[in-house]
Amino acid sequence: MNSAEAQLRIQQLTNELRQHNYRYYVLNEPSISDFEFDQLLKELEHLEQLHPEFASPESPTLKVGGSVIDGFETIKHRRPMLSLGNTYNETELRDFDERTRKSTGLETIEYVCELKIDGLAISVFYENGKLVQAVTRGDGIQGDVVTENVKTIRNLPKTLRGNYPPLFEIRGEIFMHRKGFERLNQTRIEAGEPQYANPRNVASGSLKIKDSAEVAKRPLDIFLYQVYEDENVYPTHWDSLQSAQSWGLPVPQTAKKCSGLDEVLAFLHEWDEKRHDLSFDTDGVVIKVNDKRLQEELGFTAKTPRWAIAYKFQTETASTPLLGITYQVGRTGAITPVAELQPVVLLGTTVKRASLHNANEMERLDIRLGDTVFVEKGGEIIPKIVGVDFSLRPSNSTPLNYITHCPECGTELTRNEGEAQHYCPNDELCPPQVVGKLEHFIGRKAMDIQSVGSELCETLYRNNLVKDISDFYSLKLEDLLALDRMGDKLASNIIRGIEESKTQPFERVLFAMGIRYVGETVAKKLAAALRNINRIMSATVEELVAIDEIGDRIAETVVFYFQQPKHRELVERLRNAGLNFQAVIQEKLGDSLVGKSFVISGVFEKYSRDELKELVEQHGGKIASGVTSKTNYLLAGTGIGPSKLEKAEKLGVPLISEDDLIHMINGNS
């Protein structure tokens, strides 16, 4: 794959994975299996490693995925709620163990194995033994406060017993037992209502209900598996779990402490057989390093902890008739064919649809209308089509022809030579593409327009009230009140949210405009370097490339974007609406650390690692992840990693304490 092909494939994967994240976390309607998602993500990670210059700052490899719920208070997590890296085979698990042992310098690692529950992640806070707050995962950085709904879960104590910390956070998974799910569906059948698809979707959807009395009618359950407390009372993860159980909290009894990988593998083999006898769905096992000091040393990537991994069990396969094929249009215009299946039950859930990805995949499978197809599922919700039962193919079947025109707007599709994906080029008028731009504009990291969500964007577009992003600022109260199910209070909140968005800083406005390759970080770089929209619009490729971290691809895209008259007109409409196109640059607190590079390792008494990182950067220094010949100082706390210490000593990198750092900031040697 040459450079141009890699760039295009990275862009395709980035867009496709973003859409799948949205469907899974927000809509609870995934269109591919967990396994397929993980394979796409691994392909993207591999390509980004080979071609880092093409990686988007907003890449799905750096994010947990998901969104927040409209109508609930949204708060930032005290600690990010990260996802886990996945593996589907023992070879990759052995690689994980080898990396962990090499990083820590230990021959044998003690792990804790826990069954992976197929539910909804939640963070619960207790203060002085009282349940005071519960927050959803959201997008991993911030989530929604759903305390009253979580309090309806019967096995979650509102008051603790025993010797608990005065304030702590504990995370877990909200789920539903299969029998409870079946009873709930039977009630809906008797009431003439449609059945729910699977327990995970019901558990997730239940927390979005605004009436906690209604939530209480759902047979929700919870398991808790991760304790966080500020005092570091518990030296191991296992100790914290045993203590949590003594306080009355529902900790899974299936968890086990394992010495070394062989015991971990024995646990996996045991539960691969026994999982079918459980009353709830599990699709694998989470393996965590037990020693919290080692967890701290191993640290995190941008998306996952390096001290934990999820092992997924093998798949289950069934056959079912293919009823038809539909085509979906993504925000970028990418066309995705979807197989509509006769419902089939796999691992306790009903499967009706599966993504066929692109024309190449359909051709590879030689899939045809009337076929019976093999579908595979390993704890996922919407699985993968792995083949066709040719012995059952009708004698009069004919090969399928991929659609030639967009199913939404009728525009003839394009497909670049060598590409698998078809695209609708009508990005200005094709409804899903336009609505996707509106959704991006109102997003939390963009204009953060309160009380406006995806559904309302769709409604405003369909009612010809908002055709492009500038139209938000022409909306009037009477326009909104004319919509179905729109009350005075909600309409007023929407108008207020739109008006308040005008205070967003320039870099967020620039990001919200949706210029290709201009993610959150690139927008900040452009705003800081050029200060206003006029200079950005008139900048040459050479001027843009001179800015830190702006490469040729980004520079050429920005120049091309602003060469288009329609985009210059859009800027003027937004400027006239009162949006901010002038940067306000925040000055650093000092420059005492300018030109110095630091690596942080260990646990500190006065500051957290994040606080130390912020201090260094506020005074002009840079933070690096690993010790190299270019490292000026290793900022060392208790339990410093042996590999970092050894490398620092070998390279002659000085070790400093947090007090030493403060002296340096204050100008003392």
Name the burial class of residue 479, with classes exposed (0-12), middle (13-18) and buried (19+) by CB atoms within 10 angstroms of its CB.
middle
Query: What does 222-256 look like in DSSP terms, one character per residue?
Result: EEEEEEE-TT---SBHHHHHHHHHHTT----TT-E
Contact, 226 vs 171, CB < 8 A?
yes
Name the burial class of residue 391, with classes exposed (0-12), middle (13-18) and buried (19+) by CB atoms within 10 angstroms of its CB.
exposed
586 membership: H or E segment, kind and range? none
**Contacts made by residues 565-568, CB under 8 angstroms, sequence distance 24+:** 566/428, 568/537
Name the burial class of residue 564, with classes exposed (0-12), middle (13-18) and buried (19+) by CB atoms within 10 angstroms of its CB.
exposed
C-alpha closest to that of 598 among 624, 619, 629, 630? 624
Contact, 513 vs 570, CB < 8 A?
yes
**Can you read off the two tokens belonging to residue 86?**
């996945």
For 553, other C-beta atoms within 10 Å of its C-beta total: 16
DSSP 8-state class, residue 128: T
How far apart are the C-alpha atoms of 67 and 46, rounded to whole Å? 26
Contact, 393 vs 401, CB < 8 A?
no
How far apart are the C-alpha atoms of 22 and 65, rounded to whole Å? 7
How far apart are the C-alpha atoms of 39 and 556, rounded to whole Å? 31
DSSP 8-state class, residue 383: -
C-alpha closest to that of 250 among 228, 227, 225? 225
**Can you read off the two tokens belonging to residue 635?**
């900022």
C-alpha closest to that of 404 among 420, 415, 390, 417? 415
- State the catalytic residue, choosing from 116, 377, 437, 525: 116
Name the burial class of residue 65, with classes exposed (0-12), middle (13-18) and buried (19+) by CB atoms within 10 angstroms of its CB.
buried
Distance in angstroms between the alpha carbons of the first and the last residue of the chain: 52
- Catalogue the E-assigned strands of 546-632: 597-601, 622-623
C-alpha closest to that of 66 among 120, 26, 124? 26
Contact, 563 vs 598, CB < 8 A?
no
For 573, other C-beta atoms within 10 Å of its C-beta total: 15
Q: Which residue has 């992003």 as its token pair?
A: 469
Dihedral sign for Cα atoms in the order 215, 220, 226, 227: positive
How far apart are the C-alpha atoms of 655 and 648, rounded to whole Å? 8
C-alpha closest to that of 528 among 500, 508, 553? 508
Pairing of strands 349-355, 308-312: unpaired
How far apart are the C-alpha atoms of 516 and 232, rounded to whole Å? 44
b/e 131-162 (16+ beta carbons within 10 angstroms → b)? beebbbbbbbbbbbbbbebbbbbeebbeebee
Decide if 116 is catalytic. yes
Catalytic residues: 116
